[in-house]
Structure 1
Amino acid sequence: MSASFLVATSASGAPAIPSVAQPPAAPHEHAHGYGGAQDDAEHRAQDLVGVPLHEIEKKTAENAARIERQTGRRPGRAEVRASVADADPGVSGQWSSVVDTTVVPVFTAVLPNGKVLIWDSVGDNAAEDYPTHDFTRAMVWNPADDTEKRVDLQGTNLFCAGFSHLADGNILVAGGNANAQLAGTLRTYVFNWRTETWTRGTDMAAARWYPSVTRMANGEEVIIGGGPATAEVYQTNGAIRQLPNFTKYNARLYPFMISRPDTQLGLFGPYNTGWTVTTAGNAAITGTANRDGITRDYGSFATYDIGKTLVVGGGSITEDGVAKRPTRTAVILDANKGLVPTVTTTGAMSTGRRQHNATVLADGSVLVTGGLTSAAVNGGVDLDAAVTTAELWNPVTGQWTVLSAAERIRQYHSTAALLPDGRVMTGGGGICGGCMTAGYLEKNVEYFSPPYLFKKDGSGDPAARPVITGGPATVGIGAAFTLTSPQAADIRKVGLVAPADVTHSVDQGQRYIPLKYSVSGTTLTVTGPPTGGVAPPGWYMLFVTDAAGVPSVARMVQVAKAPTPLMSPLKNSTGKCVDIPQSALTARTYLQTYTCNNTKAQSLTRFTDNTLRVFGMCADVPSSNFVNGQRIWQFGCNGTGAQRWQFGADGTVRPVSKTTLCLAAAANTNAAQVKIVTCTGAALQKWTW
């Protein structure tokens, strides 16, 4: 199935998108996806593969000292800080002082206890014969008091690995750097956030370097890119299976991807072509589309609402008449309707950026930090083209606001992550060929407090914050729960934010999920996320935001799989499951029952809008013909009553528009027709999820 993105005009009041001249095609696109020798050569040069980190640090420090003697300026320090340091933090936010660390924050994962797992590459011990690639320098950082605990990993180098939170809050790491020849690794590791220890997991089928990992509605983790074309899935039991029906992306460049509301996987960057993928069983591509004509390498993205993702910056194009510059444009992808997302333009940043980080904040707005404004000299680091001011995107207006500037330059190998207290921790930069030449190595962090943390009276004083005084430890999909707050009557937003898993401008973990709620006294009654595609199972930061726009400190909660799990078979009492014949992706394919086999053809998603979906389509009563004996097919979801079902405690599944009829199998044999018939209580009309 193929389609093109629908590109709409910008929202009212948004500035026009800058003029952009595009190359005819993405530079690394091949028959089986993206990638190739050019990616490998570029990354080998940039990442100094094979060079021990102590040697990188030594050479970088020598170059930094030499440059400072010649110019009077230390590489990595921003010269514009003084001009914005006195700005009202209620308008421009406020940066902290710089805090040194013993590990460069190249890979950053926020843990459920508010601490942060950080690692970089091989160690820098004094011994000159220290093995290069059988060690990873890592630490657990505590932003509450700026202390650290080293948790170095022996046995492999996790540099250039992909990673994501598991449902229990532990961190799955896939791939890494094997040797000086730039080979990836087959290995996976799990970091236990409670014990702060590493455990080796199941090996993948193929070695990966620069893959991405994304958590799905059923708790599985999809691994794509990094060299091999065939995607893989880390299952909830720790085993790994291949997805032979998705071989479209093999680039050694972290793909942009996230779980969609319909529980499928959306892959939408950095290259222009993207896919919608059902990851159950051996996978199926249900949609292919082009985004906006721009290869947004080292751009960034943030999912800021249900099914809505901001993609911003990146690339090396001709824009506003200037060649080899990253774009300042941004687009919104909406995956709530259809098998491919619709695309609309939104406001553009004040300047183009690449190597920046887009971070969703506690109120659903998006902060962009760091980066460089030109790819003409070096696409990874150019200290003369640094951007140190932050910019804030408002999802209501589509506009960007320039905020205050950081003290340190954050470019290649820098990260940014939202903390439970509402601040953003930025850090890192360096460990690359251009970085070493420029004397650029930032082994430190600094914190940005967004404007929402300050009073708006010009005093610069901290704002009074709403407080969550009570709430659950676990939140269910579509299930109601209560929060207590003395400021309940003043609350205007309740939202979940998934903790960060960020490296190389790509954060596979973060997303903001607004929740519906009502207020009575000091109690907020809140409805959980609508599907596991919106909120895959795991730990989240739960924020409330008041009428002044001030967020609370987050309460950490665990989102569980629904009691009737998503992406699961619908089985009747005779032991047969609703099935899509031959896993057909076409509309008007009639449903059948078949022996339950745990394949993608039987992985259905029950939505809180009462639809029943597979492959992004809905179980449908043809032409709303609610009569006894009518067969049921799959059809494009359209919001009509023909696609809404009532799941009863008695095991029946009934069309909402006519509840005297029940979903039923015509027989207890394979390939039996699925129909709606007059409800009789028969076994063929009883279903379990």
Structure 2
Amino acid sequence: MITLTPKQRKALSGKMRAEVEALQSTTAAPSETGWQPPFIGPIVTTHAALMHTGKVLFIAGSTTDLRVFEQVCPNPGITQITSCPADPNDTSICPPWGLTDSAAVWDPVKNTFSRPAIPLDNSGKPLDLFCVGHSFLPDGRLLAAGGTSGYAADRGLSSTVIFDPMSERFTKVASLNSGRWYPTLVTLASGRVFCASGINNQGNDVDFNPEIFSEVGWTSFSHPTSKLPTYPQLFLLENGSIFYSGGSFNENAVVKARILTLPDSFSKPIQEVEVPGLYADPHNPDPDNPADQRNHATSVLLPPAQDQRVMIVGGGNRFLYGGSTTDTVYIVDLKDRHPVYRQVQSLSVPRMHVNAVILPNRTVFVCNGSIVGEDTSLALLRAEIFDPATNTWTLAEAQGVPHGYHSMAILLPDGSIATGGGTPTGSCNEIRMQIYRPAYMSATRPHIQEIPERISYGGSFNIGTTHARNIKWVNLMRPTAVTHSHDMEQRLVDLPITSKSGSSLTVSVTKNPNLAPPGWYIVTITDTNNIPSVASWIQLTA
């Protein structure tokens, strides 16, 4: 059972305190569904991206100051780790708690790890990719921009690297025009990449002039945006605008949710329209600082993306111990002429440093985080599953490993969710990982027998399946690229079924690349019992 300190008990209401103390902190035994036993990864999984090879790229940190990540779980007595062999599974040389200052590629089928080399800076030192922004390019490579230059004053790198899933290698490309620590990247309909926010390389302010990456490198807008916080949670909308949900890293300088419309020239200003409703919350635990309640909330474009509804979940006003955390949940319908956030059913308990994962049955799985800041004793929380069709939550099992600040959760092609990470202040860093298997994984699942490798906008294609008659949804799902409670990539786009036969489906593809930017996706089919298939990969091209 979770034991609360007097300070923690005081911070929680009576009902909430009883619920927290009732949560079991034991690890689930191996089973078809639910949380699976933890296993050790080689690094802290601060950043995670699912590649079209089916493998997952993890990026940790921090080479700038190894003391930041030199103490790791599950052996907090170890404070110094010096070197690791080429084979990270060789625990005779490399202790099983591993290194935390590099990258790793995980094969979830074989549960093995490899360690790609990180490019060097001008001094011959590996670039510190801790706290980069990242998103996928149309060819499936991952663009990662910014990073950590120093901590005396938190300073951002201007470096940009691309990771190739096929060769499993990083390559340096043209640098940003400014250092950016904690930036957000968004892949646009053109395949170019929009970058916003991030602390500059002097460490004295956020750079509020966005940039766009193309084949010629980075180009900056000459006019700044409003003072967007670091890691602003951004979403590309169907009309090409970008929505800032109100969620971010660290306290917000009272910049409310808004829609940003990009101009046709870098010399023109970005137009902004505020979206109200999120902060008009009578249950806000800190009414004097209403805009500071969405630090390390999580936001998600609810499935299907055609509905253009964004949900923001939880959050708090501090990421250290103490502070206020909220259980409130809001949804905004961005198809409305004058969109306004509206409150829906709350979480069962407050939480921040939380992650949300879109599932192929069109629900949203929420996990990780803590009730009080980075307090790991309050982080063994029950996962919760949101149904966008009813705007209601269902409780799932409690996690066996606390994953708070710098944690991640990603959808794997088989429909399970991988979780990991956590670097709580004043405690050891968490490199244990855990898999959650939703209930649909124990059911009889539909199966995709055949699918094309590439599809184009406005076209149609056939899916070979003997379950065709019983399929109600076909999903085009963009793979995960997540860090700091925000997935910069995931979205589920409906592929309307136009015809069925006994052994195949025909579906149509959206004409709108704003709805589904070019790149690699996973395709799943879901039957009339809401049971999804294992995913197949497909590339959407112009």
Mapped pair 1:429 → 2:429: no
- How far apart are 1:491 and its partner, in Å? 0.6
Aligned to 1:94: 34
Counterpart of 1:178?
Answer: 149
Alpha-carbon offset, residue 291 of structure 1: 4.4
Q: Which residue of 2 aligns with 1:311?
A: 312
In the alignment, structure 1 residue 268 sits paired with structure 2 residue 263: no
Looking at structure 2, the residues matched to 198 and 87 of structure 1 have their Cα atoms a distance apart, in angstroms, of 36
Matches within 5 A, 1:124-523: 126=82, 137-155=102-120, 156-181=127-152, 182-226=154-198, 227-235=206-214, 237-251=215-229, 253-270=230-247, 271-278=255-262, 280-282=264-266, 284-293=270-279, 294-295=290-291, 296-304=294-302, 305=304, 306=306, 307-316=308-317, 324-338=323-337, 341-374=339-372, 379=373, 381-430=374-423, 432=424, 434=425, 437-438=426-427, 440-453=428-441, 462-517=442-497, 518-523=499-504
Shift of 1:250: 4.8
Q: Which amino acid aligns with 1:308?
A: R
Cα contact 2:29–2:36 (8 A) shared by 1 = no
SS of 1:467's partner is: coil
- Shift of residue 102 of structure 1? 0.9
Cα pair 1:499 1:541 within 8 Å, conserved: yes
User: Could you give the per-residue CA deviations for residues 641-661 of structure 1, whole angstroms, max 9, x where no partner exists?
Assistant: xxxxxxxxxxxxxxxxxxxxx
Q: Which amino acid aligns with 1:484?
A: G
CA 1:246–1:336 in 2, change beyond 3 Å: closer, same or farther? farther
Q: Is the 8 A contact 1:228 1:250 kept in 2?
A: no
Q: Is the contact made by 1:359 and 1:368 (CA closer than 8 Å) also made in structure 2?
A: yes
Whole-angstrom distance in 2 between the partners of 1:169 and 1:548: 32
Contact 1:231–1:247 (8 Å) recurs in 2: yes
**Paired amino acid for 2:332:** L
For these two proteins, the number of residue pairs brought into alignment is: 448
In structure 2, distance between residues paired with 1:560 and 1:351? 42
* Offset, 1:423: 0.4
Structure 1 residues without counterparts, runs of 5 or longer: 1-18, 20-77, 128-134, 318-322, 454-461, 562-689
Q: Could you say what secondary structure the match of 1:472 adopts? A: coil
Aligned-pair distance for 1:289? 2.8
Say whether residues 1:110 and 2:94 are aligned partners: no
Q: 2:536 aligned with 1:542, yes or no?
A: no
Shift in Å, 1:286: 5.0
* Counterparts of 1:390 and 1:280, CA distance in 2: 43
- 1:586-628: CA deviations, max 9, x gaps? xxxxxxxxxxxxxxxxxxxxxxxxxxxxxxxxxxxxxxxxxxx
Change (3 A) 1:477 1:88: same
Kept in 1, the 8 Å contact 2:380–2:401? The answer is: no
Unmatched runs of 5 consecutive residues or more in structure 2:
1-12, 14-21, 67-80, 84-99, 121-126, 199-205, 248-254, 280-289
Residue-by-residue CA offset, 1:371-410 (whole Å, 9 max, x unaligned)? 1112xxxx3x102322421100011111101101121011
Give yes or no for the alignment of 1:554 onto 2:535: yes
- Note if contact 1:274-1:291 (Cα within 8 Å) is conserved in structure 2: no
Choose the corresponding residue for 2:507, options 526, 530, 533.
526
How many Å apart are 1:177 and its aligned residue?
0.5
Give me the whole-angstrom Cα distance separating, in 1, the residues matched to 2:34 and 2:309: 28
| 8 Å CA contact retained: 1:497, 1:511 | yes
Preserved CA contact (<8 Å) 1:480 1:527 = yes
Q: Would the aligned equivalents of 1:105 and 1:414 in 2 still touch at CA under 8 Å?
A: yes
Contact 1:136 1:154 survives alignment (8 Å): no
- Counterpart code for 2:181: W
- 1:261–1:335 contact (8 Å) kept in structure 2: no
SS at match of 2:377: helix
Q: Is the 8 A contact 1:243 1:279 kept in 2?
A: no
- Relative distance call for 1:525 and 1:279 in structure 2 (3 A) is farther
* One-letter amino acid of the counterpart of residue 225, structure 2: T
Is 381-390 or 222-231 further displaced after alignment? 381-390
Matched to 2:161, the amino acid is Y
Report how far residue 475 of structure 1 moved: 2.3
Q: Secondary structure of 2:474's partner?
A: strand
Instruction: State the partner residue of 2:24.
Output: 80
The answer to whether the Cα contact below 8 Å between 1:201 and 1:238 also exists between their aligned partners in 2 is: no
Displacement of 1:348 after TM fit? 1.2
Q: CA deviation at 1:529?
A: 2.5
> What one-letter code is carried by the residue in structure 2 that aligns with 1:510?
Q
Residue 165 of structure 1: how far off its partner (Å): 0.9
Taking the aligned partners of 2:146 and 2:296, their CA distance within structure 1 comes to 20
2:90 alignment partner in structure 1: none
Q: TM-score, normalised by structure 1?
A: 0.62
Q: 1:277 deviation in Å?
A: 1.9
Aligned equivalents of 2:163, 2:339: Cα separation in 1: 34
- Report the residue type matching 2:40 in the other structure: D
Q: Is the 8 A contact 2:256 2:274 kept in 1?
A: no
SS of residue in 1 equivalent to 2:150: coil
Residue 297 of structure 1 deviates from its aligned partner by 0.9
Q: Report the CA distance between 1:520 and its aligned residue.
A: 2.3
Give matches, 1:610-621, under 5 Å: none
Q: Structure 2 length normalisation: TM-score?
A: 0.78
> 2: distance between equivalents of 1:531 and 1:337?
19
Q: Any conservation in 2 of the 1:140–1:151 contact (CA below 8 Å)?
A: yes
Which one-letter code corresponds to 1:126 in the other structure? Answer: T
Q: Percent identity?
A: 29
Compared with structure 1, are the counterparts of its residues 85 and 139 closer, same or farther at alpha carbon in structure 2 (3 Å cutoff)? closer
Alignment of 1:43-62 (within 5 A): none
For residue 290 of structure 1, give the secondary structure of its aligned residue in structure 2.
coil
CA distance in structure 1 between the aligned counterparts of 2:326 and 2:106, rounded to whole angstroms? 33
Q: Distance in 2 between matches of 1:441 and 1:102?
A: 12
State the Cα distance separating 1:180 from its structure 2 match: 3.2
Deviation at 1:284, TM superposition (A): 2.8
SS at 2:440's partner residue?
A: helix
